[in-house]
Structure 1
Amino acid sequence: MADETTPNGAAQAQPQLRMQILAQYIRDLSFENAVATKGAPSGDVQPEITVQVSLDARKRGTENQYEVISKYRVTSTNKGDGQTMFLAELDYGGVFHIEGVPEDQMHPFLMIECPRMLFPFVRRIISDLTRDGGFPAFNMDPVDFVALYRQELARRAQTQTEAAAEKPLS
């Protein structure tokens, strides 16, 4: 990063961003092969896959350490009859050491950059899980964490607006 100059002409160094992934882990994992329990769907099979993503982050007890959990729910249904073919759920966590991020930018950093760093590992786990579950490997498209963050901010703002509108005036 470039140094900034103060009004008196002296150079002032900006804090250096430092991020390190200290740990990655599967917190929860499940796979349900509905085809195996119900039998193969009759007729033409046209799988339709939906992916739901949610994120959570929290500060840990150690200075500059944060835990980020990405939750993925992948559902495959048959377009023809609406029957579920499989359901995969993965909660994947990472512990990060982060320095040099201003406090007002920490929340978006945790909810965008950290899950982005974990995503390739999540994608591989989901792919292996679906393949090992008896289906073709599902290679999840990249997730736009910026759009997901903006949607969550809009949802929270809407909820606050509705809550304020429902308050009785006294």
Structure 2
Amino acid sequence: MQLLSIVSAIVALALAVLWACVGGAALTGRLKRNRWFGVRSDQTMKSEEAFALGNKVAAPGFLGAALVLLIGGVLAFGGRWGFVLGFGAILVGLVIVSVVAGLGMRIAATVPDAEESGGCGCCSGSSHDAAADHDEGGCADDPASDCGASSCGSCALQGMCTTEAAPDAKTTGTAH
């Protein structure tokens, strides 16, 4: 029994350190897309943004699981039946991580793919020349032609969707 308590304590403490490091890195934005740590699924691996968002959402759960494992690992050293607390903490930690990983995957799935946004102009969120995008990406010559087709609204915010005939909100006294 004593050996099982020590084994469960060591496993719980090792997992606590692992999930604390992953949760802390994800929460602060230092966890980069990789194949080993964090929430890794089709949804999170489709882009850097999806990976960062999915893991940032899951990070508090990773840290909570690490706390549960730390407490369970310490208590596992405390007696004849300590292995029950150690293995119980491991099971609870796995459940917590599984639930928050699922939540992170669902949130990451909401991040649009580069292909979905059209890959051109201001609505793709790209930082390079919009004119080059229109020439290379096969997008329309008119930058405002995709207005209303994207949920980002950045074209409208930059005034590209307004026409010269549109009334000015300041002169009419109405808010849009």
| TM class, shorter-length | under 0.3
- Which structure shows the bigger proportion of residues in strand conformation? 1
TM-score (norm. length: structure 2): 0.26
Rg larger in 1 or in 2?
2
Task: With the length of structure 1 as denominator, give the TM-score of the two structures.
Answer: 0.27
